[in-house]
Amino acid sequence: MSGMSSSGSNTVPRDRLIVAGIAIGLVFLVYLIYLFSMQVVDGYIYSLRAEEVRRRSVVIAAPRGNIYDRTVSTPIATNRESFAIDVNPAEISRDEIDDVFSRLSELLGIPVADIYDAVPQRRYTTFQHIEVKSEVPYATITRIAEHKADLPGVSWRIKPVRSYVDGDTFSHVLGYVGDITPEQLQVLFNRGYNARSVIGKSGIELQYDEVLRGSEGQEFRTVDAQGRRVVGRDGERVAPVQGNDLVLTLDREIQTLTQKALGARIGAAVVLDPHNGEILSMVSYPSFDANQFYGPGGADYFTEVSLDPRGSFINRTIQAQESPASTFKVLMSAAVLEEDAFDPEATVFCPGYYMVGDTVFRCHKEHGHGDVNLAVALAESCNVYFYTIGNEHLGIESIIDYSRIMGLGERTGVDLPNERAGLIPTPEWKQRTYGDGWRPGDTVNTSIGQGFVLTTPLQLANAVATIINRGVVYRPHVVREIRDPVSGAIVEDYQPEVLRTAPVSDETFALVQEAMRGVALDGTPEVVLTTNAPVGGKTGTSQTISDERKHSWFIGFAPKGPGSSEYVVTVVWIDAQNEWDWWGPYATNIIVHGIYNGFTYEETIEDLRGLRNPWLWYGRGLPE
Amino acid sequence: MTEERSFFGVDVLLALATVTLMVIGVLFIYSSGITSDGQSLSREWVRQIIWVAIGLGLLVAVASFDYARWRDFAPYIYIGVLVILVGTLLFGRVVNGARSWIGIGELGVQPSEFAKIATILMLARFFEQRSGRVGELPVFALGAGIALLPMALILLQPDLGTALVYVPVFLVMAWVAGARTSHVLFIVTVGLLTIVLTVIPTWVSDFQPTDRLIGTALSNTRTLLALGSGFLAIAAIGVVGMAALKRSYFRWVIYGAAIPIASIAGSFVGRRVLPNHALMRLIVFLDPYVDPRGAGWNIIQSVTAVGSGGVSGKGWLEGTQSHLQFLPQQSTDFIFSILAEEWGFIGALGVFACFSVLIARGLIIAAKAKDNFASYVSAGIVTMIFFHVFVNVGMAIGVMPITGIPLLFLSYGGSSLWTALIGVGLLMSVFQHRYRY
């Protein structure tokens, strides 16, 4: 009632109401101008930002390119479709997670602890697909699909797995693939790799990774604030591009022949086409089957291979460096002939040893070869002859020069990773390394490919190729062509690349080649080289600390077939760790016979048994 | 009757704007309930329709009631609301971190919403009884006390956003009732300065902004005390000067010095009283990217949604940021963001047009009201509606800190809607009874 007294008239100042109205109007105007600038002027910026936050891209793996041998028939490396199981922990409620994991472990047949390891607790709330198992068979996928309702957050996807069709036959050349390591990613991030990339780890897979890998596809998905995929709002899809195919210079038949000819001996064998540098086969033992890296128990197998004390991952054709031993005498012969340092017909008397000062250098024949000329010295592998030549007629500088001409002491440049350079010792090198001057004894040792000299099998093959090809040396290579995976069209054709031309006369090379042919006909390995192919070559037996165990080399060449003027070069090296069986020439005999006659390994063995001296095979443990 | 667009004595524009806003509200509450998969799972929109129906009933009841009776009931209503607010603090239900709900079972209301109307009525009555004396400081301060009581109880819940509404409501009502502009400005300046001084130490220490020299200085307690003492000295000089020389400009010296003194004192209190999350909200408003996944998320997502709406929007139910759940609290605090995303600038313009009509009509009603009580009530309601738009929309477009107050008529929720509708009902009642003497 008291209010009544002051009521009755409105004394509110109008101007204040008007000011209030204007103030409110101004605020609204400012807001509208602000909204206009946000929505109309800058709207596109916010649209982009909105797009950004709700679009997630999912990577679709690109199938790796296939790898073919030179016949381009069936691939030797291809992809097998396989499935991987992913778990998305954010899609599983907390109280269900244990049940889901135990059900999944049962279906996958793996311990539940593996799943807990793959999906640690700190990632339970992150929306991310975490792979718990790969290489899951189709039947398991079917069963998981049947139980989909009981398995929230569990999904599967196709994950191509590398398949090496010939098992361990091409392993060292092809290499293998694996998940990218953080260290690799740091280096390669700008080249289009990501944390889930599969990358070549060795061999061609590593060397040609960027050719083979193709480009990953992307699927843009719309996600909500929790990162959940929103069905029915999917954006565009960028299809993955399969990597290019590779055609190798290797020949599956020759590779298999070579592998079997080498057998279970630690060592290496390589067959090279001297006319263009194409490697026809390249075998190293022990080998590995990369297929087993990806299957169940793959990690265990990988560890086993990695820890093998014999070094299964080593591609011994380019990574083993050993003394070339007597094979070096071929190079010495070329030097003598070209330099006219010593008349090839003149003889040197071999008493079974050679004296430099007080030091005695022995010939392998205890009582000596008597008077030997170059051809005989090479055939009989007389050390004393080459000691004399090297130390008294050529000198170390000349030996070094000819080693360089033959491509020793430096990488051949083969298109495979981690090739080693070998070593041709020089007086400067010795001074630098040992702080000791060059001594005549060093020249003597070098003259028969001992001492400090180190070569890889492929280097020696290239040296022989230099002789066969009259001084023209091609870069040895394993890849012939890059092909488009869809059309089969050749994308890149690797033309033979001349590494260098040796400044040595054709005549010298012809004489050396003839002398090597003489070695096979009349020399130490004559009894072993039973093939009907007109093979030439040189043995090498390098001593190790133990006299019982020796490296066995054989470098050789033979025509590709009856009447062919084209040759293949073969180099076999058997490590001294093996039981001594002088396998270098034996393996060469099988390889050359097989190539010359177009036989498989089995046919070769069969055929060789029928040739002369069948008794030689008895007790040799020749593999069946 | 002829000069006003009215029909059966009803303010048609006011009614039209109100109904339009509520229809838009229901539309976007429906839209906010659409999940990522495009399914409508939330039943909020159905409930909102029920709230609208009940609210319209309340509106009609209030509108047809002679507002003059409210003047008599105002003290009882005011005291009753205060009691309920205390009860809420003791027995209320905690929703979103504030003990702000009271009720039985699922049914409940937020007394803090209705308390606004009660306070407006009480203030209107108080100022009307002291017409012509509101310019006096004791009257102004007493009026402030009327507003401060419910405000303090709400702050204790704690619901900073709702409590804040009382400040402009009181200031505008007092000013319209004849308070001195200097008194009003004093409170406005002190308030803003206090907030700034309260936030700065946490901002500087936790987020290390690039420009930190002034900030570091202002976070140092000693510096602040020194500053405060300096201003106190100036004020003392002013007091002495005025006593000795009787010059009126000394009054302004005291006035000017009192602002920083009060602000520094207020900031010391504020830092003790304000919970961490409130400080965080204020900081995040300054720079949402200091914590984009946490406290800054709401601002960033809301601004993104609004901005991506463009001129005409993505279309109703077609908003991506909202339906993919990037936008939080879409039906309540961020209803404007959904609207701006789906209807674009044009939709926002429409909403502003409706609110402009509402506020313009409210002010005209205030001007034409037959007595001061009615005029003050109208001004208070207009201020309340405006302040909600100002803060809520400002928050959605990223120019205001997140305080969590609803956009009246549009946001989901019964209490705030009914409060707004009761307010409109009061306006209509004033309008209807404007010629009756």
Query: What residue type is assigned to position B316 of the chain?
Result: W
Residues 229-288 of chain A whose Cβ lies under 8 A from any Cβ of chain B? 230-232
CATH 3.90.1310.10 residue ranges for chain A: 56-93+160-248
Between residues 99 and 128 of chain B, which touch chain A (CB distance below 8 Å)?
A: 125, 128
pTM over 0.95: no
- Helices marked H in A271-373: 291-294, 298-307, 316-319, 328-339
- Alpha-carbon gap, residue B261 to B224, rounded angstroms: 10
Per-residue pLDDT for A137 more than 70? yes
- Alpha carbon distance A538, A166 (integer Å): 32
The tokens for B239 are 């007091």
CA pair distance A210, A246, nearest whole angstrom: 12
- Of A78-92, A481-495, B286-300, the one with minimum mean pLDDT is B286-300
Using the structure block, give the residue that is written with the tokens 């987020």.
Answer: B207
Does the CB of B185 have a partner CB in chain A at under 8 Å?
A: no
CB pairs under 8 A between A and B: 161
E strands, A82-170, where? 83-87, 130-136, 154-158, 161-164
**Angle ∠(B101,B50,B417) on CA atoms, nearest 5:** 50
Please state, in angstroms and rounded to a whole number, the distance separating the CA atoms of residues A555 and A467.
12
pLDDT of residue A209: 93
Please tell me the distance from the alpha carbon of residue B332 to that of residue B406, in angstroms, as a whole number: 6
* pLDDT for A270 beyond 50: yes
Q: Note whether A47 contacts B307, CB cutoff 8 Å.
A: yes
pLDDT at A130: 79
> How confident is the model at residue A5, as a pLDDT?
39
Cβ–Cβ under 8 Å, residues B420 and B433: no
Spell out which residues of chain A touch residue B307, defining contact as CB-CB under 8 Å: 38-39, 42-43, 45-47, 49-50
The backbone torsions φ and ψ at residue A276, rounded to the nearest 5 degrees and listed phi first, read -150, 0
Write the pLDDT tens digit of every residue in A84-95. Answer: 888 877 777 778
Distance between CA atoms of A285 and A319, rounded to whole angstroms?
Answer: 12
Angstrom CA distances, A110 to A115, A122, A296, A565, B322, stand at 8, 22, 10, 60, 42
CATH of domain A252-294+317-617: 3.40.710.10
| B41-50 average pLDDT score | 87
Q: Which class for A160: exposed (0-12), middle (13-18), buried (19 or more C-beta within 10 A)?
A: middle
N- to C-terminal Cα distance for chain A? 125
Domain ranges in chain B are: 26-178+294-437, 180-286
Nearest chain A residue to B340 by CA: give it: A39
pLDDT surpassing 60 at residue A232: no
Is the Cβ–Cβ distance between A483 and A491 less than 8 Å?
yes
Residues of B in contact with A42 (CB under 8 A): 307
- The predicted-structure confidence for A6-53, as pLDDT tens digits, reads as follows 446 788 888 999 999 999 999 999 999 999 999 988 888 888 877 776
CA A489 to each of CA A123, A245, A478: distance values in angstroms, whole numbers, following the listed order? 47, 10, 19
pLDDT at position B287, please?
63
pLDDT for the residue numbered B238: 87
| Interface touch B172/A20, C-beta < 8 Å | yes
User: Tens digits of per-residue pLDDT, A326-360?
Assistant: 999 999 999 999 998 899 999 999 999 999 988 89
Beta carbons within 8 Å of A603's beta carbon, 6+ residues apart: A594, A597
- Taking residues B321-349, what's their average pLDDT? 85
- Cβ within 8 Å of B, A 52-81: 53-54
CB proximity A22 to B under 8 Å: no
Residue B244: both structure tokens together: 């000795």
Where do you find CATH 3.40.710.10 in chain A?
252-294+317-617
Of A21-35, A118-132, B384-398, the poorest mean pLDDT is in A118-132
Least confident range from A115-119, B14-18, B336-340, B388-392: namely: A115-119
Are A596 and A560 in contact by the 8 Å Cβ rule? The answer is: yes
B307 and A43 within 8 Å at the Cβ level: the answer is yes
CA distance B347 to chain A (A): 11
CB A257 within 8 A of CB A446: no
Q: Under CATH, domain A56-93+160-248 is a member of which superfamily?
A: Penicillin-binding protein 2a (Domain 2) (3.90.1310.10)
Q: In whole angstroms, give the CA distance from residue B160 to residue B39.
A: 35
Q: Is A27 on the interface with B (CB under 8 A)?
A: yes
Distance from CA of B125 to the nearest CA of A (A): 7
Q: How far is CA A72 from CA A250, A402, B273, in A?
A: 10, 39, 81
* pLDDT of A2 higher than 50: no
Task: Output the average pLDDT for chain A.
Answer: 86
CA distance A229 to chain B (A): 9
Residue A15 near chain B (CB below 8 Å): no
A-chain residue closest to B365, CA distance:
A17
Q: Which residues 261-320 of chain B have a CB within 8 Å of chain A?
A: 301, 303-311, 320
Report the first-to-last Cα separation within chain B, whole angstroms: 16
Q: Which residues pair with B101 in a beta bridge?
A: B93
pLDDT over 70 (residue A122): yes
Instruction: Give the count of beta carbons closer than 10 Å to the beta carbon of residue A123.
Output: 14
Taking CB atoms and an 8 Å cutoff, what residues of chain A touch B390?
27
Tell whether B177 is within 8 A of chain A (Cβ): yes
Distance CA A276, CA B369 (A): 107
The reply to whether A16 touches chain B by the CB within 8 Å rule is yes
- Residues in contact with B430: Cβ distance below 8 Å, sequence separation at least 6, in sequence order: B67, B365, B366, B369, B374, B375, B377, B378
Residues 6+ apart with CB under 8 A from A490: A481, A482, A483, A484
Q: Are A258 and A269 in contact (CB under 8 A)?
A: yes
Q: Check CB contact under 8 Å for A225 and B390.
A: no
Q: Do B307 and A225 touch (CB under 8 A)?
A: no
B-chain residues near A5 (CB < 8 A): 129
Can you tell me the distance from the alpha carbon of A322 to that of A455, in angstroms, rounded to the nearest whole number? 5
* ipTM computed for the complex: 0.92
Smallest CA–CA distance, residue B51 to chain A, in Å, is 28
Q: Do A10 and B369 touch (CB under 8 A)?
A: yes
Q: Which of residues 367-386 of B touch A (CB under 8 A)?
A: 367-376, 379, 382-383, 386
Reported residue count of chain B is 437
Cβ-based contacts of A17 with chain B (< 8 Å): 176, 363, 366-367, 379
pLDDT tens-digit readout, B205-235: 766 666 666 777 777 778 888 888 999 999 8
Query: Is the per-residue pLDDT at B15 higher than 70?
Result: yes
Is the pLDDT score of B107 beyond 80?
no
Minimum distance, in Å, between the CA of residue A186 and any CA atom of chain B: 27
Q: Choose the weakest-confidence range: A49-58, A424-433, B119-128, B353-362.
A: A49-58
Rounded average pLDDT over A395-402: 93
Cβ neighbour number for residue A565 with a 10 Å cutoff = 7
Assess contact for B133 and B124: CB atoms under 8 A.
Answer: no
Confidence bin at A192 (pLDDT 50/70/90): confident
Q: A34 CB near a chain B CB, below 8 Å?
A: yes
- Nearest-CA distance B369 → chain A (Å): 7
Q: What is the pLDDT of residue A618?
A: 39
Q: Taking CB atoms and an 8 Å limit, are A20 and B176 in contact across chains?
A: yes
